Amino acid sequence: MNRTLEQLQTDIILAAKKGFPVLLSGAIVFLLFTFSPLVFPMKIVYLIWILGLSVIFPFGILLSKMMNVNILVTNNPIGTLAGIVAAPQAFYIPVFIIVYMHIPEYLPFTIGLLCGSHFLPYIWIYKSKVYLFVTLATCISSLLLGGFFIELAFTTVPLAISIVYGIGILLIFRELRNNPV
């Protein structure tokens, strides 16, 4: 059966619930990052940031399974596109490692900007302006807090990102309730 682009988008929006479990996972992980400087020495905090990012997607999959949401839509080419759009984040890892090695104080700035920007294509994939908010709010807060208030960046940037993702989740719920597709 040939489905139209509109039908494919509708199918992925309904199956993946606009991808909110990944945002939820990110909100939880970044909230945990917020408290890491209170518990660990900064050299460990830097590593927690780099290694902790690798937890977000698998944790999002786990949360989606627990909530009966299918974020790994495989029978839909738009699901494949969503995976392709997410994949370039793997290429950010060398950037994070170089920042860690040379100017680790800028990890929140760098991670916030690069990870925040990757949500932009989901505006179209999920027909959701929420992802424009998530992209802009994550990038702007990371730029301002991580670029200009460096001494506070390891607590303020992850807290801001966690809050942005949390607001994004609430806005996605509202979109799904008011207009599921």
Q: Does the pLDDT at position 180 exceed 80?
A: no
Cβ-count burial 109-137 (b if 16+ within 10 Å, e if not): bbbbbbbbbbbebbbebbbbebbebbbeb
Q: What is the pLDDT of residue 123?
A: 96
Per-residue pLDDT band for 90 (boundaries 50, 70, 90) equals confident
User: Is 134 within 8 Å of 26 (Cβ atoms)?
Assistant: no
Quick one: tokens of 83?
């995976």
User: Is 33 within 8 Å of 51 (Cβ atoms)?
Assistant: no
Rounded to 10 deg, the angle between the 20-39 and 42-66 helix axes is: 150
Q: What is the pLDDT of residue 1?
A: 64
Q: What is the pLDDT of residue 30?
A: 98
Q: Report the chain's mean pLDDT, rounded to a whole number.
A: 94
Number of helices (H) and strands (E) in the chain: give both, helices first.
9, 0
Per-residue pLDDT band for 74 (boundaries 50, 70, 90) equals confident
Per-residue pLDDT band for 22 (boundaries 50, 70, 90) equals very high
Range of lowest pLDDT (70-74, 156-160, 166-170, 176-180): 176-180
Q: What is the pLDDT of residue 10?
A: 93
The pLDDT tens digits of the residues spanning 144-169 come to 999 999 999 999 999 999 999 999 99
The CB density around residue 107, as the number of other CB atoms within 10 Å, is 23
Rounded mean pLDDT of 87-91? 88
Per-residue pLDDT band for 2 (boundaries 50, 70, 90) equals confident
User: Is 141 within 8 Å of 157 (Cβ atoms)?
Assistant: yes
Share of the chain above pLDDT 70, in %: 99
Residue 12 CA, chain-centre distance (Å), reads: 18
